[in-house]
Chain A
Amino acid sequence: MKKKLLILAAFLLSLAFGIGIAYKFPNGYFKILADTGAVSWKFDVVSCVIMTLISFVLLWLLIDIFFDKKGYKRDIVAFKKYRFFMVDLVSRDIKTKYRRSVLGVFWSVLNPLLMMLVLTAIFSRVLRIDVTNYGYWGGYPLFYLSGYVIFNFISEATNFSLVSILQASGLIKKVYMPKYIFPLEKCCYAFVNMSLSFIAFIIMFCVYLFKGDIPISTDLFKMFLVVVPMFFVFIFALGLSLFLSSAAVFFRDVLHLWSVFLSLWMYASPIIYPLDNLSPALKNVLRINPLTHYIDYFRCVLIKGELPTLEQNVMCVLFSLAALGIGLIAFRKKQDKFILYI
């Protein structure tokens, strides 16, 4: 009862916070609006709603942790015991992925390169999108690869996790183990895949470096900041995966809907086209998409040699934490019922 009251209070508090944000930043919280000049009240409302939701989820998570300190602690202790199991699962996934293929693990590097060739042919030769105008180094290939790596990670992590609980039914029904291991393991597996396809990016980066398309300066060191968006995006994908994997247990529809949603999501993110190319109104809409912020951050440090702004950092952290919060709350609420439905 007390918990419910606290959650209600948290909601009111975050509502006030969201309205406050909209009032304090009449140009919309997302900085980009200010420089496009196309500000409408609609966007203030949207950003107010988003900020309310995010802060509400975060407060709820805090309340949840506070009320279930023992449970969270137990989960963390359990992880220590089952980490070998997780490593085993990841290595098994990698082994089965490349079973009976001649090139094996090289496919992880080769695949992005081939995709890059196809899309470069279409977008830079046929449709003539020139990204170097917007300050991205290396032209379309590097531009595409950097977006592809992030999106592919999210899509793999969620697609694998979606069925992870259902697939593990044999184990869950017979042996006790913390159930979050399964979506977490799938995210780690997708993260390994992402690191491998990042090699493709590095190869292309070196090619352009030798060609002289990338200025050799200290800006290149900012590249190492790439671990920051990678970490954020991992947390984001983990939260999403926790939510989706538990939803898929109760409603198998999610399995079918998600692939449709993913393709929509891909076109609604600046992966194959640059954000700067769009009309101001569309740009605003895309700012609502969390993925836009991650990809933007990623490209900013990798192929622009710029330091990320405070806004970029704040948005990435907030979206990651909010996704993790939603995932954790949904998963923990339902995890004891999984066994009755799988």
Chain B
Amino acid sequence: MEADIAVKVEDVKMCYNMPTERVDSIKEYIVKLLRGKLHYREFVALDGVSITIKRGETVGIVGLNGSGKSTLLKIISGILKPDRGNVEINGVISPLIELGAGFDFELTTRENIFLNGSVLGFDRNFMRARYDDILDFAELRPYEDVAIKNFSSGMVARLGFAIATLVKPDILIVDEILAVGDALFQQKCEKRIAELMSGGTTVIIVSHAIEQIERLCTKVLWIDKGKQIMLGDTATVCEKYKMLGQKRGELN
């Protein structure tokens, strides 16, 4: 793979086998198998999506609910393995797939920072060096020794964002997370993402806030029902996407 390419997704297809009824025990499985009732409904979450992201690019992914955006992110970060197609990654990924991934809600902020670091594969010394920055950025200094279960969702989001961005990943994945914080924190996050971008980090953003995507991204991928509709520069794709949104809104 060429050195300046961070993520390369080629013709990816992902199907979920959804059994019409859930089979959880051996007896059920055998009974159903013998009766020939073991049907699966195939659900195609993604089909034929390809995208190449260069180092330092910021890419937005737009689409309606259930269009396969999160599935694509999961495939890129290696959580899901696609049924068909190829994914190549160049660099350290710091996934922000969802709120509170890798947190233990019983533990305190301090313990969670180190736990989350080790989940991402960083050792204690590495995290200790960044510990103060993380606390300051998340504005959680007074709550250093409070268990996370007592936090509001905004506080958890702040902490997650602070950890994921302060470890300076090569690839940062942001899934709707910016929607949780208040306006002030959102601004701070956007500033931070801009900083990372100028530092050469590749950023992938999923958001329904189309203005945000227009502000931050250099390239946008639009998927609908698992199919790739459009891939191109931000202005063109966003305009088409907004037009479709308006049309559907009028229909309803």
- The residues in B between 113 and 134 inclusive whose CB is less than 8 angstroms from any CB of A are 114-115, 117-124
Residue in contact with A176 in the complex, picked from B17, B78, B118, CB distance below 8 Å: B78
CB nearest neighbor in A for B97: A174
Residue in contact with B79 in the complex, picked from A87, A92, A170, A339, CB distance below 8 Å: A339
Contact check, A253 vs B122: say whether CB atoms are below 8 A apart: no
Whether B25 is near chain A, meaning CB under 8 Å from some CB there, is: yes
CB nearest neighbor in B for A80: B121
Contact check, A251 vs B29: say whether CB atoms are below 8 A apart: yes
- Given the known A-B contacts A84-B122, A88-B115, A340-B17, are A175 and B27 also in contact in the complex, defined by CB atoms under 8 Å? no
**Cβ contacts A76-120/B at 8 Å (1 or 0 each):** 000001101101100010000000000000000000000000000
A175, B78: Cα distance in complex, Å: 8
Contact check, B79 vs A174: say whether CB atoms are below 8 A apart: yes
Whether A177 is near chain B, meaning CB under 8 Å from some CB there, is: yes
Whether B151 is near chain A, meaning CB under 8 Å from some CB there, is: no
Whether A252 is near chain B, meaning CB under 8 Å from some CB there, is: yes
Whether A128 is near chain B, meaning CB under 8 Å from some CB there, is: no
Chain B residues near A85 (CB, 8 Å)? 118-119, 121
Chain B residues near A251 (CB, 8 Å)? 24-26, 29
Whether B95 is near chain A, meaning CB under 8 Å from some CB there, is: yes
Whether A171 is near chain B, meaning CB under 8 Å from some CB there, is: yes
Number of interface residues of B (CB under 8 A): 29
Chain A residues near B26 (CB, 8 Å)? 251, 253
User: Shortest beta-carbon distance, B107 to chain A, in Å?
Assistant: 8
Contact check, A175 vs B102: say whether CB atoms are below 8 A apart: yes
Chain A residues near B44 (CB, 8 Å)? none
Whether B98 is near chain A, meaning CB under 8 Å from some CB there, is: yes
Chain A residues near B123 (CB, 8 Å)? 84
A85, B118: Cα distance in complex, Å: 5
Whether A35 is near chain B, meaning CB under 8 Å from some CB there, is: no
Residue in contact with B121 in the complex, picked from A84, A172, A174, CB distance below 8 Å: A84
**Cβ contacts B40-84/A at 8 Å (1 or 0 each):** 000000000000000000000000000000000000011111000
A92, B107: Cα distance in complex, Å: 10
Contact check, A171 vs B115: say whether CB atoms are below 8 A apart: no
Number of interface residues of A (CB under 8 A): 21
Residue in contact with A171 in the complex, picked from B78, B93, B102, CB distance below 8 Å: B102
Chain B residues near A87 (CB, 8 Å)? 118
Chain A residues near B16 (CB, 8 Å)? 340
Chain B residues near A82 (CB, 8 Å)? 118, 121
Contact check, A175 vs B120: say whether CB atoms are below 8 A apart: yes
CB nearest neighbor in B for A171: B102
Between A and B, how many residue pairs show CB distances below 8 Å? 58
Chain B residues near A3 (CB, 8 Å)? none
| Listed residue (B29, B81, B119) with the most chain A CB atoms within 10 angstroms of its CB | B119
Chain B residues near A253 (CB, 8 Å)? 25-27
- Given the known A-B contacts A175-B95, A175-B102, A253-B26, are A339 and B120 also in contact in the complex, defined by CB atoms under 8 Å? no
Contact check, A176 vs B115: say whether CB atoms are below 8 A apart: no
Chain A residues near B122 (CB, 8 Å)? 84
Whether B243 is near chain A, meaning CB under 8 Å from some CB there, is: no
Whether A173 is near chain B, meaning CB under 8 Å from some CB there, is: yes
Contact check, B118 vs A173: say whether CB atoms are below 8 A apart: no
Contact check, A171 vs B25: say whether CB atoms are below 8 A apart: no
Contact check, B97 vs A175: say whether CB atoms are below 8 A apart: yes
Contact check, A88 vs B25: say whether CB atoms are below 8 A apart: no
Chain A residues near B80 (CB, 8 Å)? 339
Residue in contact with A336 in the complex, picked from B81, B95, B97, B120, CB distance below 8 Å: B81
Residue in contact with B93 in the complex, picked from A170, A176, A252, A336, CB distance below 8 Å: A176
Chain B residues near A172 (CB, 8 Å)? 79
Whether B33 is near chain A, meaning CB under 8 Å from some CB there, is: no
Contact check, B101 vs A171: say whether CB atoms are below 8 A apart: yes
Contact check, B79 vs A173: say whether CB atoms are below 8 A apart: yes
Chain B residues near A175 (CB, 8 Å)? 77, 79, 95, 97, 101-102, 119-120
- Given the known A-B contacts A84-B124, A340-B17, are A176 and B95 also in contact in the complex, defined by CB atoms under 8 Å? yes
**Cβ contacts A10-47/B at 8 Å (1 or 0 each):** 00000000000000000000000000000000000000
Contact check, B25 vs A174: say whether CB atoms are below 8 A apart: no
User: Shortest beta-carbon distance, B16 to chain A, in Å?
Assistant: 7
User: Shortest beta-carbon distance, B78 to chain A, in Å?
Assistant: 4
A175, B120: Cα distance in complex, Å: 8
Chain A residues near B97 (CB, 8 Å)? 174-175
CB nearest neighbor in B for A85: B118
**Cβ contacts A235-254/B at 8 Å (1 or 0 each):** 00000000000000001110
CB nearest neighbor in A for B123: A84
- The residues in A between 30 and 76 inclusive whose CB is less than 8 angstroms from any CB of B are none
The 23 sampled A-B contact pairs (Cβ below 8 Å) are: A81-B121, A82-B118, A82-B121, A84-B117, A84-B122, A84-B124, A88-B118, A92-B104, A171-B102, A171-B119, A172-B79, A174-B101, A175-B79, A175-B95, A175-B97, A175-B102, A176-B78, A177-B119, A251-B25, A251-B26, A251-B29, A253-B27, A340-B17
7 further A-B pairs in the complex, CB-CB below 8 A; given A85-B119, A88-B114, A175-B101: A84-B123, A85-B118, A171-B102, A176-B78, A251-B25, A336-B81, A339-B79
Q: Which residues of B contact A (CB under 8 A)?
A: 16-17, 24-27, 29, 77-81, 93, 95, 97-98, 101-102, 104, 114-115, 117-124
